[in-house]
Structure 1
Amino acid sequence: MSLTAATRAETTKQFTTSMWWILAIVLVAYIGSAAAGIAAVFAGTASGALPAGDTPTLPAEQLPPLLYSMATAVGYVFPLLIGTLIVTTEFRHQTLTPTFLATPRRGRVLVAKLAVGVLLGALFGVLGIFASVAPSAGILAAFGLETEFTSVDTWAMIGRMLLAYVLWALIGVGIGAVVRNQVGAIVGVLVFTQFLEPIVRLAASYVEVLADAARFLPGAAGDALVGASLYDSALVGASATGLEWWQGGLVLLGYAVVLVVIGHLVSWRRDVS
């Protein structure tokens, strides 16, 4: 089977299951509600409509990129999960055996899964960006604040957010190729992204010796690629300078390449029956 045919088969396989659209619905609901809630608070205090209390108020010009980037700051786990599921679902349901029988060149199958990962990552990116930008912009406009849609920087950031989603999906495919057990892979992804890395990044904002290394963590690299993050704005005391956007993109791409290569060499060649 050619690479084109293998990619077509993988695309059909993924879009005939319910997991992708279930995750997409959760993605939109989660990011949309989070962005709307935070935008209402920040825009209200910045415009003076709501009392700021003792907490410092963010300048109005900083709000659009901060709110729009919610799609990646809190939503990057979704393309990571869908990328992981592209591979581990086949191991779990033992459908990889007929796949390899149809396409004996296993590397070709993995490349086809990466192509589908790009497609799903872009799709999730569009949904996630819409879910964060639409309510945030609406609330900013309602409070009389600028949405910055006329700024080239805003659209460049949105483009980098879409790229980040694609790279996270590719990292997910790599994780799925390395960790064949679906439950183990999903639990590992959630534990690392929701607990371990946030704790390390929080510690790095206070401990200078950790700051340089923390820049190269996947989540930190993703935030650097996008160029804005609600998470980074909440951290204080960080002494290390963050990565440039292109450096963050290269770090994420490096994670994807390393994981895919390891998965192909160590796990993908093993017996699946």
Structure 2
Amino acid sequence: MSLVAATRSESAKQFSTSMWWLLAIILVVYVAFTSAALGFAIGGAATGAFGSGDAIPLPETGIAAALYSTATSVGYVFPLLIGTLIVTAEFRHKTLTPTFLAVPRRGVVLAAKLAVGAFLGVIFGVLGIVASVGPAAGFLSGFGLDTELTSSDTWAMLARMLIAFVLWVLIGVGVGALVRNQVGAVVGVLVFTQFVEPIVRTAAAYIDGLGDVVAYLPGAASDALVGGSIFSVAMPTGSDPIEWWVGGVVLLAYAVVILVLGYLTSWRRDVS
């Protein structure tokens, strides 16, 4: 079976289940709520609407950029999870055996999953961007602050957010190929993204030199690629951020390394 046929089959397989759209709904609700809450809090505080005459410090890239990037700074776990589930669901439900029988070349199967995963990354990215930009822009406009939606820099950032979403899905596919057990893979993703890296990034604000290392962690590299993050404002590391293209290269490197390791160590093993 050719790559085109394998990709078509993989698309039918993924879009015939409720997994992707359930995660998409949760992504939209979570990001929209977070963006609205931050837009209300930061916009109100910045303009003194809450009774304080002192405006809060604004990030160098602009308050709008920090709020719009909520889709990636807090929502990147969703494309990471969908990429992981694309692979681990087949191990869990024992559907990978007939898949390999239909497509004996396992590299073609993995490439098809990457292609479908990239498409899902675009879908999740668009939904995440709409969910973050809509509420944030509404509150910024309501408080009389610049939404920066006419700025080319803002639209360039939104394009990089789409790229980040796609790269996170590819990393997830690699994690799923490397860690066959679905529960183990999902728990590992959640523990690292929600606890380990946030704790390390917080510690970097108080430990000299740690910020230079933290900048190359996956989440930090994603924030650098996007060019904005609410966490960078709330938890400055004290070190200069890496360039956006360096962040993109680092995130791509994570995807490539994890995918290669997954293919060499686990993907080619017999399926029980």
Q: TM-score, normalised by structure 1?
A: 0.96
Question: Paired residue for 2:262?
Answer: 263
Question: Paired residue for 1:220?
Answer: 220
Question: Paired residue for 1:200?
Answer: 200
Q: Residue 22 of structure 1: SS of its match in structure 2?
A: helix
* Comparing 194-203 and 206-215, the one that deviates more: 206-215
Question: Paired residue for 1:103?
Answer: 103
Superposition CA RMSD, Å: 1.4
**Counterparts of 2:20 and 2:269, CA distance in 1:** 27
Matches within 5 A, 1:21-60: 21-52=21-52, 57-59=56-58
Q: Residue 104 of structure 1: SS of its match in structure 2?
A: coil
Aligned length: 271
Question: Paired residue for 1:249?
Answer: 248
Describe the superposition over 1:214-273 as per-residue Cα deviations: whole angstroms up to 9, x where unpaired: 11100000000011101110114x232221000000000000000110111000110102
Question: Paired residue for 1:90?
Answer: 90
Question: Paired residue for 2:120?
Answer: 120
> Which runs of 5 or more residues in structure 2 are unaligned?
none
Q: Residue 51 of structure 1: SS of its match in structure 2?
A: coil
CA deviation after TM superposition for structure 1 residue 181, in Å = 0.2
**Counterparts of 2:16 and 2:180, CA distance in 1:** 21
**Counterparts of 2:106 and 2:89, CA distance in 1:** 16
Amino acid at match of 1:264: Y
Runs of 4+ aligned structure 1 residues displaced above 4 Å come to none
**Counterparts of 1:100 and 1:35, CA distance in 2:** 43
Kindly tell me: are residues 180 and 52 of structure 1, through their superposed partners in 2, closer, same or farther at Cα, counting changes over 3 Å?
Answer: farther
**Counterparts of 2:224 and 2:71, CA distance in 1:** 14
Q: TM-score, normalised by structure 2?
A: 0.97
Whether the 8 Å contact between 1:42 and 1:58 is mirrored in structure 2 is no
Kindly tell me: are residues 93 and 52 of structure 1, through their superposed partners in 2, closer, same or farther at Cα, counting changes over 3 Å?
Answer: farther
Question: Paired residue for 2:74?
Answer: 74
Amino acid at match of 1:194: Q
- Are 1:65 and 2:65 counterparts? yes
Whether the 8 Å contact between 1:208 and 1:240 is mirrored in structure 2 is no
**Counterparts of 2:94 and 2:196, CA distance in 1:** 31
Matches within 5 A, 1:104-253: 104-236=104-236, 238-253=237-252
**Counterparts of 2:267 and 2:53, CA distance in 1:** 56
CA deviation after TM superposition for structure 1 residue 93, in Å = 0.2
CA deviation after TM superposition for structure 1 residue 53, in Å = 8.0
Describe the superposition over 1:111-144 as per-residue Cα deviations: whole angstroms up to 9, x where unpaired: 0000011001110000000000001111111111
**Counterparts of 1:228 and 1:53, CA distance in 2:** 26
CA deviation after TM superposition for structure 1 residue 156, in Å = 0.4
